Structure 1
Amino acid sequence: MSAGATLAVRLFLSSAGEANDAVIVGDIRPAGLDGTEQHDILIPCGSSPEPTSYAVTPGRYLVTATLPSGLVLTENVTAVAGRRTAVDFVMTDSPYETHSWQYLMGNIEPGRVYHGPAPIPLAESVASRSMVAAAAGPDGVVPDTAVDLAALATWIGDAEPASCSFASVLALRQQASGQGVVQALARGEPQVLPAPDVRGGALAPLYRFGSHGPLHAPGGPVGERQFLVVEAAGSLRLVTLPLPWGAAEVEVLINLRQSPTGSAVAVTVRDPVAGAGLAYMSQGALDSAARLFAGLRADAEETPGAAPAHPLATAAACYVLLGTDRSPGETYWDAWLEALAEGSPRLSDGAILRAVRTLRRASAPPRLREARDRLIEAFERGVPLYTLGLAWLVDGLSAFPDDPECRRRLDEVRRLSWLADMREPFLILDLRQGST
């Protein structure tokens, strides 16, 4: 019998002297009829990641890495008996070194698009939700110097609870300016953020936030709901910030020129595991997302019934787990739903998840009534943090077409969903579309 072989898999990102650690999902498939097939392998990413080794039988293999954007990278390799064969994917062509995480997540184009000789094609349709802030010159190039980042983004660190209701958020469309939106939402002192370092690209400014608010800017009172109001070229966005997220930073990319997804604003969490999991979730790749969130299962089994240490991450995991649920009975994460709903009253996602779980398992009128009441309770807690929560609330309330209370609330939820960028994991609302 021949000795086994090993494939050591990793993905390189460009580095600007900062950590870029992440984990994505891939597959190992034999090139012929014989060989070892492994699905949903975990691939470490970073500026100098330590590879993860997978045992295979000797032979030729096709190794794939599925990026959160949906792009699939491939490498053909030969696994040699008794040897450890390196499988190195390379994604070092981010347009800016500081944007390598955004590039991995699929929110920005490769460097050749931004810095090559050909002009960047500008998004022209309303569906692209473009926030282009400058016109191209005669040569078709938009100069960085033409972009005005002054007062582009205003941080609301502590939103007034009443302002987060569906009716209040829908009413924000009537505000004449971004400042009006800020005043309608803020309970604490809002803060106009300074322009990010221009080395990161004036056409794709990147704002970063920590547990105490924006980095590289004075902090302020931090509440349970935080927002960013973005205004450029006549467009106005209300951006939900998933803060605090433990020790992880949150990035907000404002792509003033072109986005491969069509989203002008993208929010990502620089959590080594959950970061890519959230991106998979927003693309509908729930099985891939579930692979990354699987680590939370071990935590739940070690401390059954314990309250989630990180409610926002737990809510994301529950969306994925409930979306891929195939179990007929109780699961280890059912306790999470109850803990989220009861322990985080301003996180309406917990109430949405519990209501949807109740509805899906309802087989008798009493359980249907309970699901109906829980859906109404979820609505009353205000707009969710996750875009998927908005979609699930629409589905849940639609299950009661003859109930006037559900119909009234469904109308508001639907109207808000028309403003939402459904391609993003966190709720981003298009309050006003510019003329560009």
Structure 2
Amino acid sequence: MASIAINTIAHSSESLEIPKEIQILDSKFNKVKSFWIQGGDAQNVDLDNGMYAVVMTLPSGQKLEEVIEIKSGLNKTINFNLANLSNHETHEWAHLSNQIADTSKSLTDSKYLGSWIRLWCFQDNIWRLKHMNISEFSSWDEDGVSYKLEEVEQQLQFLQVGGPRIPWRFVALPPSNNVMCLIKPNNGPTKVEHPFEITVTSDNWQAEAILTLLRNNATAKAKEVFDTNNFAERLLYNKVSNPTAAAIGGYYLLKFEKFDQLHNWARNLANWSDWLPDGSIIWAWQLIKQGRRTGGFDVNEVRKRFLEASQRGLPIYTEGLRLLWEGLKMLCYTNRDDEELKSALDRIGKYAEAADWSATVTTFNGADFSSPSKKSGRGTPRDTSNLVYIYDVPSKVLVDATSLTSDDVIEVISEEESPTRLQVSGSRLVEPNTGKSYKSIYEAVKKIDNLKTSKNWNVRSSNIDLDSEIDRFRKGR
């Protein structure tokens, strides 16, 4: 017998905190041990002599495998290196926690020019624009932007994404001290998939793993992780300090009808976090499911909670939107003259029809919150006061909002190429040698010099610091 130490190597602390399943198989492929690891500390396991396969499975479904021979008294170490699973350190968390495909598309392509995001919050029954706190630890790469959003408050908030050629889309943000969001070009067919693949997570990695596993129908794995030490119950118990993680725990317990662990805590979540629709939905469905076992439930209480949820805005999680829609349909079927229920069903039904059901957080297309639609408009909002450009800033915006003038010459300098010079002409950039005009700096340089990456570019003009101006547009400052 000997001991093996299982280490995880990753670029970031976030990646180490993502739960990972370890299975140890013997030479006949029988499962010898199975457990989950989290954090950066080595996991030590004692094994009898023989050949073994050690398999790590990530919430995304990716698997890594190492084969090892155990001999008496010879302790060994296995290093699972996750650092090569993503092209960028700052994208690593998304590739480990979700099924993210590498993309061959670039944010400098004309399709993504002028694409933007902005933040909405629900206050006093009104959706309002809000300033977005983008951390300095965010990163901008041609194949994706990884945002760290600081101090997302405990209120209903949605990220809106759009652009001149990008359909407007809304994505729920779970309140957290550290919300992470990856926006990257989608490799899927543009007539079927939204042009952007948007991945959102809070910093509660165990709760987020529940969502991912349930979305991927990996219910057996979810039970292995979260039935241990009643983790989902503890998430719900901590409803005051982290109500959105409590909602995830509640959805999990509700799905598997673990009523003894739900207690009446979902009711408390609904009452104490009166901004959160999800608590009301979980409590209503708990009453329904328990009532099916006992022979009846309080219809008035269920009705009250579904209406309460619909009045609070929209559920943060897709599972909540589905359950709210189904619950309202069920009540309307048996209460056909209830106009208040019918009105709520009509409103929520529009969001359900425009929803992306593959997302873990509520996601839908639409021109605004009152007009959800599968086919939403494109363009740039008239009010740009809280607008943040995702990557490539149109030259017209730079000319209109900075001190650039028609006398300015812009130089783009890279480590590999000689400087590229552009002349400002109206709202366009003109390449003096050819007279061709371009809509952005990145478009011009890539077409003129065929540069493959903008990572090491330095942009300057005779009048202003353009690097700083572009950075300001990207951070909404």
Per the normalisation by structure 1, the TM-score is 0.70
Match of 1:126 in 2: none
1:230 deviates by: 1.1
Map of 2:330 onto structure 1? 399
Amino acid at match of 1:235: P
Could you say which residue in structure 2 is the equivalent of 1:20? 15
Deviation at 1:397, TM superposition (A): 3.0
Superposition pairs for residues 27-426 of structure 1, below 5 Å? Answer: 27-32=22-27, 37-39=32-34, 41-44=35-38, 49-93=40-84, 94-106=86-98, 108-110=100-102, 120=104, 142=106, 144=108, 152-156=116-120, 158-163=121-126, 185-186=127-128, 190-191=130-131, 200-211=140-151, 213=152, 224-232=155-163, 233-243=165-175, 245=176, 247=177, 249-258=178-187, 264-293=197-226, 297=230, 308-325=240-257, 327=258, 330-362=259-291, 363-368=294-299, 370-400=301-331, 401-404=333-336, 405=338, 406=341, 408-426=343-361
**Residue 272 of structure 1: how far off its partner (Å):** 4.2
3-state SS in 1 of match to 2:122: coil
User: Are 1:43 and 1:51, in contact at CA under 8 Å, matched by a contact in 2?
Assistant: no
Q: Is the 8 A contact 1:348 1:384 kept in 2?
A: yes
Q: Do the aligned partners of 2:174 and 2:316 also contact (CA within 8 Å) in 1?
A: yes
CA distance in 2, matches of 1:34, 1:71: 19
Classify 1:307/1:402 alpha carbon distance in 2 versus 1 (closer, same or farther; 3 Å). Answer: closer
Query: What SS is found at the alignment partner of 1:345?
Result: coil
CA contact (8 A) 1:26 1:42 kept: yes
> C-alpha displacement at 1:153, in angstroms?
1.1
The residue identity in structure 1 corresponding to 2:122 is A
Report if the CA contact (8 A) 2:237-2:265 is conserved: yes
The code of the aligned residue for 1:154 comes to R
Higher relative contact order (CA 8 A, sep 6+): 1
Task: Give 1:13 shift.
Answer: 2.4
Which residue in 1 is equivalent to 2:6? 9
CA distance in 2, matches of 1:381, 1:143: 36
1:34 positional shift: 8.9
- Residue 206 and residue 285 in structure 1: after superposition, are their counterparts in 2 closer, same or farther (change >3 A)? same
Question: Matched residues in 1 for 2:219 and 2:31: separation?
Answer: 25
- In 2, Cα distance between the equivalents of 1:296 and 1:250? 26
Query: 1:106 & 1:304 partners in 2: Cα distance?
Result: 23
Residues 307/255 of structure 1: CA separation in 2 closer, same or farther (3 Å cut) = closer
Question: What is the CA–CA distance in structure 2 between the aligned matches of 1:312 and 1:192, rounded to whole Å?
Answer: 20
Q: Secondary structure at the match of 2:15?
A: coil
**Which 5+ residue runs of structure 1 have no aligned equivalent?**
115-119, 123-141, 164-184, 214-221
Q: Is the 8 A contact 1:355 1:378 kept in 2?
A: no
**What is the letter of the counterpart of residue 426 of structure 1?**
V
Identity of aligned residues (%): 22
Deviation of the 1:417 alpha carbon: 1.6
Task: Tell me the amino acid that sits aligned with residue 52 of structure 2.
Answer: Y
Retained in 1: the 8 A contact 2:97–2:209? yes
Does the CA contact (< 8 Å) of 1:242 and 1:250 recur in 2? yes
Alpha-carbon contact 2:133-2:149 (below 8 Å) kept: no
Kindly state the Cα deviation for residue 159 of structure 1 after the two structures are TM-superposed. 2.5
Deviation sequence 1:47-69 (CA, Å, 0-9, x none): xx322223333333333222222
Instruction: Measure how far apart 1:33 and its partner are.
Output: 5.1
CA drift at 1:312: 1.0
Which amino acid counterpart does residue 306 of structure 2 have in structure 1? L
- Tell me the CA shift for residue 269 of structure 1: 1.9
Distance 2:66 2:255 in 1: 31
Return the index of the structure with the highest Cα Rg: 2
CA spacing shift, 1:145–1:360, aligned 2, 3 Å: closer
**For the structure 1 residues 10 and 399, does the alpha-carbon distance in structure 2 shift closer, same or farther, using more than 3 Å as the test?**
farther
The 8 Å contact of residues 68 and 283 in structure 1, kept in 2 or not, is answered as no
One-letter amino acid matched to 1:279: T
Contact 1:287–1:324 (Cα < 8 Å) also in 2: no
Work out the CA distance in 2 between the residues paired with 1:194 and 1:371.
Answer: 39
| 1:257–1:391 Cα change, 3 Å | closer
- Match of 2:398? none
User: With structure 2 as the length reference, what TM-score do the two structures score?
Assistant: 0.64
Task: Say if 1:238 and 1:428, in contact at 8 Å, map to a contact too.
Answer: yes
1:290–1:321: 8 Å Cα contact kept in structure 2? no
> Contact 2:135–2:148 (CA<8 Å) still a contact in 1?
no
Q: Which amino acid aligns with 1:44?
A: Q
Distance 1:420-1:85 versus aligned 2 partners, 3 A rule: farther
Q: CA RMSD in A?
A: 3.7
Number of matched pairs:
359
Deviation string 1:212-253 (CA, Å, 9 cap, x unpaired) is x5xxxxxxxx5612222111223111121111x2x4x11111
- 2:428 aligns with none
Structure (1/2) with the larger strand percentage: 2
Residue 26 of structure 1 aligns with an amino acid whose one-letter code is E
Check whether the contact 2:144–2:182 (CA below 8 A) recurs between aligned residues: yes
Deviations 1:285-314 (A, max 9, x none): 34434555558847967x997754211111
- What stretches of structure 2 of length at least 5 have no aligned partner? 367-374, 379-477
